Amino acid sequence: MDVLERIDQQVKGHPIVIYMKGTPQMPQCGFSMRAAQALGDTGVSFAYVNVLQDPEIFESLPRYADWPTFPQIYVDGELVGGCDITLELAASGELKTMMESAAAKHEAGTSESAG
């Protein structure tokens, strides 16, 4: 499978996903740490991809949504942005609303297709 197809499956297969350096428990850069913490503070579960463990994704992700830096946060299949945008959305309360909506939509779609 092509790396851009893998990225597309990850983005569309999870309601919320962060591509970051390291993991939420052990971030490897300050921007990734702050963004993952903001996501975690919402109380909504999210997926993550450690780009340092997957060189193909590290090299190709900037082409996927034309965003050059890490972290990259996707909610409901759409690029939200990086650390600064995520922190602004968290401060306004919008991040939690977006994440809750995406999680509920994903869960509804999952239960419908399973039935």
Please report, to the nearest 10 degrees, the dihedral formed by the alpha carbons of residues 107, 91, 72, 84 taken in order: 170
pLDDT per residue as tens digits for the range 64-80: 999 999 999 999 999 99
83 is in an annotated binding site: no
For residue 110, what pLDDT is reported?
61
Residue 85 counted as domain residue:
yes
Residue 78 counted as domain residue:
yes
Q: Which of 5, 31, 8, 17 is nearest to 102 (CA)?
A: 17
Quote the pTM value. Answer: 0.92
Q: How many domains does the chain have?
A: 1
Q: How confident is the model at residue 113 (pLDDT cuts 50, 70, 90)?
A: very low
Give the CATH number for residue 35: 3.40.30.10
| Position 107 pLDDT exceeds 90 | no
Residue 106 counted as domain residue:
no
Domain span at 93: 3-100
Contact yes or no for 47/10 (Cβ under 8 A): yes
Instruction: Please state the rounded mean pLDDT for residues 49-59.
Output: 96
Mean pLDDT of the chain: 93
Residue 10 counted as domain residue:
yes
Residue 109 counted as domain residue:
no
Residue 111 counted as domain residue:
no
Backbone angles phi, psi at 47, to 5 degrees: -95, 160
